[in-house]
Amino acid sequence: MPQAGKGRLNYRCPACFIRELDIDMFYDKEKKEYYCLRCPFTGTEEEVLKLNEMAKFRYKAMMERITDFD
Amino acid sequence: MKDTFILNILHRPEMVPEYAEKVTGQGKKEDIGRKELLTESLDIFKLQQEIAHQHGLKTTIQMTYSSLFNDEAISLAKEHHEKYGDEISLTLLGLPCKEFREKYKTKDFCIWMFSMEDKKAIVRDVFEKFHDIFGFYPQSTGSYYMDAELINFIKQEYPSVKCAVATCWEEGPKAYRTCNNSWYTFMDGGPWNPWIPSKANSHAPATNEEEDSGIVAIPHLSRDLLACFDGNGSNFGTHPQNVLRGMIYKDGKYPYLYNLIDQYRHLAKYNRGYAYNMMFVGPGWMNKAGRWEAPYELLVQSYRDCMAYYAELRDKGELVDMTMAEFADWYRANKTYTQPECALWKDILYGSEKQLFWYCDPYYRTCVDMNQGGAIVDLRPYAAKLEIPVGIGTGNVHDASYPFLVQSMYRAGYFTHYAGEGSIKSCKVSYKGEEADLCLCRTKAKFSEEGNDRILTLDPVDIEFSDLTFKVTTRFIFSEGSSEIKISRIITDMSNPDAKVHINEYITACYGTTEYPEDMNGIVLRCRGKEEEKEIVYAYKCREESVKDAAAVEAVVPQVKTKMTVYPVKGTFEGYFREGYAFSPMFTLGLNTELSNNEEMITCLKLEKVD
Ligand SMILES: [Zn+2]
């Protein structure tokens, strides 16, 4: 397999993101998957997008427009 | 003062944006003179300026070294100054370019990390070049961090400078780690809102004219005072693309960004009507290739939306946009040296009711966590005005953080694994063998002012023992210019009005700038009674001493030139100290007493410089 490159967008590893690490993933064209250089995570674009949504589980007020700051 | 919410918008024509070369240039051999890179960078700057001007917002154009070699960038700056009243300023960010690398023979780009000799040479170089081009010296400058020696040198050589971007709030070990241990901005421990830096340490505000470095410092971005304290600073600030980086959006909507701005506006309530925001997005964050999973369109849209919101506030008369130099004048005219910066800040992200209170003045910075019963979870002794030279050749290349005595994220706090203690200031109540730490009593607080006192009053918390129930009400009194924090505790609603409750008011502390323990040898722990005095020098021996009828208990921490004292203000106390041990590299200072129903005790924590 030739060297890996970047995919369509520059996805970060969702497993690392959840532990507060921003790490670019690289794309393996043959296996059609993204993979992390640091942890063993691999995933398709679809999986990555889904996991990115999941990472927002802690942001319960993310879509709320807050008006009371007291 | 009528409520004033001031906004500084900064743009920089960065000819080689941070990230662009590493990220969008992936798969190409490094070439920072690449034509596409220069064109794209300038286009982003133009777009940012255009968006601001569409909304009638004034900007501060921070020319970079590299942009001083670009005719188009120069003429744009001149034109926008004429047409829109933008300030032409000079940043020490954006040094990298062919010319810089050839001249200084280095790829370094963070001004505070250069040797003092290089700092001087670079400052002279860029300031003189700026003067040659524009015919005047700039009134403002900045970087992610500006160390005191650098500020002092600039002020001495170029007295026209009155404002500088001087720190990124709580960008330290956390940001380093988030960037896979490759982003060297160690600068925790500073103010979150503008301040006048002291000549000794730019994080520590000046106490008086003599200590005044001569500039007004502004933070790089206005950051979430709760999310950034425990998370990556670069996800939670007035930087729309940082919010995208944090993945705090859905379907192209990011109400969190507006909530953050609004909470900053709300801080006017705690600061006699004054509130502030700073926005400074480097061009690398709006590049055509997108930024991580955010496509270009979303990056630009978020910028447009943020500016539109600021403009909407301005149109309603709720925001004033200023250039940096204008702001410095305003700040000098409206603030005094000792006037603190206060922020009762609530969680706007996780949907909890967690609340922190931040306080900063020339003597200390501290944070009170209402979710832990009003425990002090961060304490930085600005009174020590520590001189901490940073950069190559100083023996300290990287660490520009102002040291803490308490930092319960880096040094455990209430909860530790298995053994030992963490750094925190709290209070334990006990009765007939049962004990509770107020750290486990979640509550909320209200802010008030009386004369020169800022008062934080916590809602009463309930304590339930098998034989007794009661309430504890805590008040923190921050007296302006005193270098002291007074803490009042009152017991009420006792189920048995004749009972007496034992109170242990304690602070467990250490020192440092990172998560890792430091050498505690040499710290002096002392109890002073009315009749006797006991003292030890720290040696990890797990020793403990106490005196009856204490006048004070103190720790002298020579490593950070600080004396911390706790002493009784109201009530009679036994004073004690506890040395730590290897698995618990902390020390504890405490005051013990007994309280009856409706009785109040007051203790005080004081910070002083020792040489
Ligand atoms: Zn990973």
The alpha carbon of B544 and the centre of ligand 1 are apart by a number of angstroms equal to 46
Residue B455 included in any domain: yes
Contact yes or no for B292 and A38 at CB 8 A: no
Contact yes or no for B259 and A65 at CB 8 A: yes
Residue B354 included in any domain: no
- What integer pLDDT is reported at residue B350 of this predicted model? 98
ipTM comes to 0.96
| B208 has a pLDDT exceeding 90 | yes
pLDDT category of residue B19 using cuts at 50, 70 and 90: low
> How far B444 CA lies from chain A's nearest CA (Å)?
10
Around ion ligand 1, which residues have CB less than 5 A away?
A 13, 15-16, 36, 38-39, 41
By percentage, how much of chain B surpasses pLDDT 70? 97
Contacts of A60 in chain B (CB under 8 A): 350-352
Q: Are B233 and B144 in contact (CB under 8 A)?
A: no
Query: Token digits for B274?
Result: 């004054």
Contact yes or no for B23 and A24 at CB 8 A: yes
Contact yes or no for A10 and B293 at CB 8 A: yes
B261 shares its domain with B180: yes
Sign of the CA dihedral running A10, A13, A16, A17: positive
Determine contact: B292 vs chain A, CB below 8 A: yes
| B521 has a pLDDT exceeding 80 | yes
By percentage, how much of chain B surpasses pLDDT 90? 91
pLDDT category of residue B16 using cuts at 50, 70 and 90: confident
The alpha carbon of B517 and the centre of ligand 1 are apart by a number of angstroms equal to 28
Mean pLDDT of chain B: 96
> How far A45 CA lies from chain B's nearest CA (Å)?
10
Smallest CA–CA distance from B230 into chain A, residue: A20
Residue B424 included in any domain: yes
Contact yes or no for A59 and B248 at CB 8 A: yes
Residue B518 included in any domain: yes
Mean pLDDT of B341-360: 98
| B316 has a pLDDT exceeding 60 | yes
Contact yes or no for B247 and A52 at CB 8 A: yes
pLDDT in tens, B581-611: 999 999 999 999 999 999 999 999 999 999 9
Contacts of B258 in chain A (CB under 8 A): 65
pLDDT in tens, B398-451: 999 999 999 999 999 999 998 999 999 999 999 999 999 999 999 999 999 999
- What integer pLDDT is reported at residue B25 of this predicted model? 55
B65 shares its domain with B115: yes
pLDDT in tens, B375-400: 999 999 999 999 999 999 999 999 99
Contact yes or no for B290 and A55 at CB 8 A: no
Mean pLDDT of B346-358: 98
B341 shares its domain with B367: no
Contact yes or no for A9 and B262 at CB 8 A: no
Report the DSSP pairing between strands B87-90 and B140-142: unpaired
Contact yes or no for B248 and A58 at CB 8 A: no
> How far A28 CA lies from chain B's nearest CA (Å)?
14
Strand partners, B370: none
State which H helix or E strand residue B301 sits in.
helix B296-315
Tally the domains of chain B.
Answer: 2
| B490 has a pLDDT exceeding 80 | yes
Integer Cα distance of B282 and B286 in angstroms: 8
What's the pTM value of the predicted model, to 2 decimals?
0.97
B213 shares its domain with B126: yes
The alpha carbon of B302 and the centre of ligand 1 are apart by a number of angstroms equal to 27
Contacts of A21 in chain B (CB under 8 A): 177-178, 180
Residue B591 included in any domain: yes
| A7 has a pLDDT exceeding 90 | no
- What integer pLDDT is reported at residue B28 of this predicted model? 67
- Give the structural domain span for B406: 363-609
Determine contact: B296 vs chain A, CB below 8 A: no
Integer Cα distance of B191 and B203 in angstroms: 7
The alpha carbon of B230 and the centre of ligand 1 are apart by a number of angstroms equal to 21
Per-residue three-class SS string for A4-68: CECCCCCCECHHHHHCCCCCEEEEECCCCEEEECCCCCEECHHHHHHHHHHHHHHCCCCCCCCCC
Contact yes or no for B346 and A65 at CB 8 A: no
State which H helix or E strand residue B369 sits in.
strand B365-369
Contacts of A11 in chain B (CB under 8 A): 292-293
Contacts of B249 in chain A (CB under 8 A): 62
| A8 has a pLDDT exceeding 80 | no
Integer Cα distance of B124 and B120 in angstroms: 6
Contacts of A10 in chain B (CB under 8 A): 23, 289-293
Residue B329 included in any domain: yes
B370 shares its domain with B330: no
Residue B351 included in any domain: no
- What integer pLDDT is reported at residue B27 of this predicted model? 66
Q: Residues, chain B, total?
A: 611
> How far B569 CA lies from chain A's nearest CA (Å)?
30
Determine contact: B236 vs chain A, CB below 8 A: no
pLDDT in tens, B83-116: 999 999 999 998 988 899 999 999 999 999 999 9
pLDDT category of residue B127 using cuts at 50, 70 and 90: very high
Strand partners, B590: B506, B576
Report the DSSP pairing between strands B320-322 and B341-346: unpaired
Domain locations in chain A as residue ranges? 1-70
Domain finish residue from B311, B346, B381: B346
pLDDT in tens, B28-71: 676 766 777 777 889 999 999 999 999 999 999 999 999 999 99
pLDDT in tens, B141-189: 999 999 999 999 999 999 999 999 999 999 999 999 999 999 999 999 9
Mean pLDDT of B486-507: 98
B412 shares its domain with B476: yes
Integer Cα distance of B378 and B226 in angstroms: 12
For residue B334, give the CATH number of its domain: 3.20.20.510
B319 shares its domain with B379: no
B417 shares its domain with B316: no
- What integer pLDDT is reported at residue B135 of this predicted model? 98
Contact yes or no for A5 and B27 at CB 8 A: yes
Residues 6+ apart with CB under 8 A from B149: B116, B119, B389
B342 shares its domain with B370: no
| B22 has a pLDDT exceeding 80 | no
Smallest CA–CA distance from B348 into chain A, residue: A61
Q: Which residues of A fall below an 8 Å CB-CB distance to B? A: 5-6, 9-12, 17, 20-24, 38, 48-49, 52, 55-56, 58-67, 69-70
Q: For the CA atoms of A58, A59, A60, A62, what is the dihedral angle to 10 degrees?
A: -170
**Burial of residue B196, with CB atoms counted within 10 A of its CB: 0-12 exposed, 13-18 middle, 19 or more buried:** buried
Q: Are B587 and B509 in contact (CB under 8 A)?
A: yes
pLDDT in tens, A15-63: 999 999 999 999 999 999 999 999 999 999 999 999 999 999 999 999 9
Integer Cα distance of B553 and B605 in angstroms: 10
Integer Cα distance of B591 and B601 in angstroms: 11
Contacts of B23 in chain A (CB under 8 A): 10, 24
Contacts of B294 in chain A (CB under 8 A): 9
Contact yes or no for A67 and B295 at CB 8 A: no
| B24 has a pLDDT exceeding 60 | no
Residue B358 included in any domain: no
CA B283-B288-B289 angle, 5° bins: 110
The alpha carbon of B248 and the centre of ligand 1 are apart by a number of angstroms equal to 20
- What integer pLDDT is reported at residue B17 of this predicted model? 65
State which H helix or E strand residue B230 sits in.
helix B227-230
Contacts of B250 in chain A (CB under 8 A): 56, 62-63
- What integer pLDDT is reported at residue B101 of this predicted model? 93
- What integer pLDDT is reported at residue B372 of this predicted model? 98
**Burial of residue B459, with CB atoms counted within 10 A of its CB: 0-12 exposed, 13-18 middle, 19 or more buried:** middle
Determine contact: B181 vs chain A, CB below 8 A: no
- Residue B399: strand, helix, or coil: strand
Interface size, chain A vs chain B, as Cβ–Cβ contacts under 8 Å: 92
B327 shares its domain with B434: no
Q: How far is it between the farthest Cα atoms of chain A?
A: 58
B325 shares its domain with B431: no
Integer Cα distance of B550 and B535 in angstroms: 13
Q: How far is CA B58 from the centre of its chain?
A: 26
pLDDT in tens, B257-291: 999 999 999 999 999 999 999 999 999 899 888 88
For residue B379, give the CATH number of its domain: 2.70.98.10
Query: Token digits for B391?
Result: 């950069």
Query: Token digits for B145?
Result: 């961090």
B530 shares its domain with B463: yes
pLDDT category of residue B80 using cuts at 50, 70 and 90: very high
DSSP string, B274-288: EEEEEEE--GGGG-T
- What integer pLDDT is reported at residue B495 of this predicted model? 98
- Smallest CA-to-CA distance from B167 within B228, B226, B241 is with B228
- What integer pLDDT is reported at residue A2 of this predicted model? 77
